Structure 1
Amino acid sequence: MKKFFPVYVRVPLLFGLFFAIIEWLGGGTLSEPAFMKHPMLIVLFALFLFALIAVEVVSAATNKVLDRLMTSEERAEKERLAAIPFTESPWVKKLLKKLTRSKAIEEEKELLMEHDYDGIKELDNELPPWWVGLFYATIIFSVIYLLRYHVFEGDNQIVEFEKAMAEAKEQVEAYKKNAPDMLTAEQARYLTDAGDLAAGKQLFDTNCAVCHRTDGGGSIGPNLTDDHWILGGGVKNIFNTIAEGGRPGKGMVPWKTTFKPAEIEKLTSYVISLNGTTPVEPKAAEGDIVWSKAELEDAEGTDEMDADATEQE
């Protein structure tokens, strides 16, 4: 076999097979191979590669020594066997004979059937074992299939697909709820953490203060400290206004292409925190929608009271 699989083929092939098996057993993926999760596997791969190379070196050295110790007749026999085609190798012939149960030409007289059609005779050969085994396997498979899907009403491919899609949809929804960069206006919350508000303030000072002033009193844009809102107050409305932009032609651009949803949530929270403050030069109130931060805080207080009452019950 060595002449069909030289050393430069054997070593990479065996190492690749070993690598694939260990990766599979170690739960590796394309994004995170097992040897990255378990660095000790690198040592195992290195040892296996070293062992492969050592075996090849020792085997080559042993063959050279044995070749020198051979007689001329033994060397000639070795060369004769090496020159035999792969399909004519003794072990290949033996394997094919077992798989096909074929008879030699000299034995065909024993297989001849009595009938004769215009000098054409038929041999009573046995069916090949591989064919018989495959035939029995199909019978066993058909019985299992019949019981599984027609007797016990197992899930067919359509039902399995629908279940898989429903499970995937649930996983996607769960991911969207927990992934900060997948937030929507419906999922956004009013953040009160000092770090979140500081991040929102930095975004506001850098991008929004030019139109609304640093203290939110308003300039080109409306006053953000009073209770009057053009497009509505509250987390959902303010989040949506920042993300999608203001009224057409009024200069407020959609910031969703610049900010991530998590950043818009922080910016929304900071804008809400400005409500009720006193700017240096407040702009006159604009908008017919009246909303104040107090409504949000009252709603949160009510939710907390309901939760406490539920726990007491």
Structure 2
Amino acid sequence: MRTTASFLRILGFSVFGYILLDYVGTTGETSIFIEKPWMWVLFGAIILFYIAGEICVAALKGVLYKTLSPEAKQRYDQREAQEREKEFRWVKEKYRKSLGSKAIEEEHEIILDHNYDGIKELDNNLPPWWVYMFYGTIIFAAIYLIRFQVFKEYNQAEEYEIAVAAAKLEIEEWKKTAKDLVDINTVTFLADASDLNAGQSIFKTNCVACHKEDGGGGIGPNLTDPNWILGGGIKNVFKTISEGGRDGKGMIAWKTELSPAEMAQVASYVLTLEGTTPLEPKAPEGAIWVDPNAPEKGAPEIQEVVSDSTTVKITMNQ
């Protein structure tokens, strides 16, 4: 039986089926095989069904072949041999021509006169594909020489600088959306509702055992007052979450459990608890934290407001 043809039919059916399912089923930029992994099961089932069909047809042919008479088997074998000879004739012919060699029956035309201990040598031509590739390298070299040596388009150093500049721009664009690159030096307060909601979820999962759900404090300190043991502000809170609290009695370091983005989210959520009213607030610990980067308060501004016959001086703190 012609197993090569069967294999190619299965391969062609598989490729065509994959492309068809992907084209028909994909609605966005992501392939349907990624959006819906169960499609692989469906695709595999279809391929297995097709392979089973090929096997059944081959088995049926084998059964029928056994029922033929010797003369019919001979005719069938001759017909199969002719069909195999026709298979991929065009491919075989192109392959033979690409080698640039002579058929065995024609080798006598290219045998050289000399021989070595009875070993004769054929004067075969170089394979055409090799010759064409060699000509292509000559053309490429000529174009390269004119472009870079005659017209001086750019040199390797300039090409490197252009590539580095383009790569830096791509890195900066990538950093804008790569939240997991955040660290103690680059972390900022995340005010988006999605980030704060994510931080709240992380807090409820990991922090309520020590700080209570409303942040009032238990084993850990109260997070709703302005007092901080290791400093307030997004950078200090992020560092405390990442590296842990005081040695021996502080909380554990969460950098092995949470990603940098998650630590930034929960740190931002913790800062929103300040000023809220918990049910059972723990006594303040640490010192009131003042942001050193906050704008300085100016001198009191005194304004006079005249109401009827009374002048009232109001002090406006900036």
TM value normalised by structure 2: 0.53
Match of residue 200 from structure 1: 200
TM-superposed deviation, 1:133: 2.2
User: After superposition, what is the alpha-carbon deviation per residue over 1:107-153, rounded to whole angstroms, capped at 9, x for unaligned?
Assistant: 8579878x999x99998765543343233222223224434555433
TM-superposed deviation, 1:10: 2.8
Aligned letter for 1:243? Answer: S
Match of residue 308 from structure 1: none
Aligned letter for 1:269? Answer: Y
Number of aligned positions between the proteins: 278
Match of residue 174 from structure 1: 176
Match of residue 100 from structure 1: 100
- Correspondences of 1:17-56 after superposition (within 5 Å): 17-18=15-16, 33-35=31-33
Aligned partners of 1:276 and 1:84: how far apart in 2? 85
Contact in 1 for aligned 2:211/2:218 (Cα 8 Å): yes
Aligned letter for 2:8? Answer: R
Residue 245 (1) aligns with residue 251 (2): no
Choose which of 7, 10, 25 in structure 2 pairs with 1:9: 7
SS of match in other structure, 2:154:
coil
Match of residue 75 from structure 1: 75
Change beyond 3 A, Cα 1:135–1:25? farther
User: After superposition, what is the alpha-carbon deviation per residue over 1:262-308, rounded to whole angstroms, capped at 9, x for unaligned?
Assistant: 3652454344433375876652552374459x98xxxxxxxxxxxxx
Match of residue 137 from structure 2: 138
Aligned partners of 1:105 and 1:205: how far apart in 2? 83
Q: Which moves more between the two structures, 196-205 or 282-291?
A: 196-205
Which structure is higher in helix share?
Answer: 1
Contact in 2 for aligned 1:200/1:263 (Cα 8 Å): no
Q: Return 5+ residue gaps in structure 2 as ranges.
A: 296-318
Change beyond 3 A, Cα 1:103–1:208? closer
Aligned partners of 1:245 and 1:83: how far apart in 2? 77
TM-superposed deviation, 1:241: 1.7
TM-superposed deviation, 1:234: 1.5
Aligned partners of 2:164 and 2:229: how far apart in 1? 45
Aligned partners of 2:218 and 2:95: how far apart in 1? 91
Change beyond 3 A, Cα 1:181–1:204? farther
Change beyond 3 A, Cα 1:159–1:144? farther
Match of residue 298 from structure 2: none
User: After superposition, what is the alpha-carbon deviation per residue over 1:47-82, rounded to whole angstroms, capped at 9, x for unaligned?
Assistant: 9x97xx79x97xx99xx9xxx9xx98x939936955
Change beyond 3 A, Cα 1:16–1:152? farther
Q: Which moves more between the two structures, 223-232 or 201-210?
A: 201-210
Aligned partners of 1:107 and 1:25: how far apart in 2? 52
Aligned partners of 2:182 and 2:4: how far apart in 1? 54
Aligned letter for 1:175? Answer: T
SS of match in other structure, 2:287:
coil
Change beyond 3 A, Cα 1:275–1:137? same
Match of residue 188 from structure 2: 188
Change beyond 3 A, Cα 1:240–1:146? same
SS of match in other structure, 2:269:
helix
Contact in 1 for aligned 2:234/2:271 (Cα 8 Å): no
TM-superposed deviation, 1:189: 1.6
Change beyond 3 A, Cα 1:214–1:195? same
Contact in 2 for aligned 1:100/1:127 (Cα 8 Å): yes
Aligned letter for 2:274? Answer: L
Which structure is higher in strand share?
Answer: 2
Match of residue 316 from structure 2: none
TM value normalised by structure 1: 0.53
Match of residue 311 from structure 1: none
Aligned letter for 2:238? Answer: F
Aligned partners of 2:109 and 2:224: how far apart in 1? 108
- Correspondences of 1:202-217 after superposition (within 5 Å): 203=203, 207-208=207-208, 210=210, 216=216
Change beyond 3 A, Cα 1:205–1:283? farther
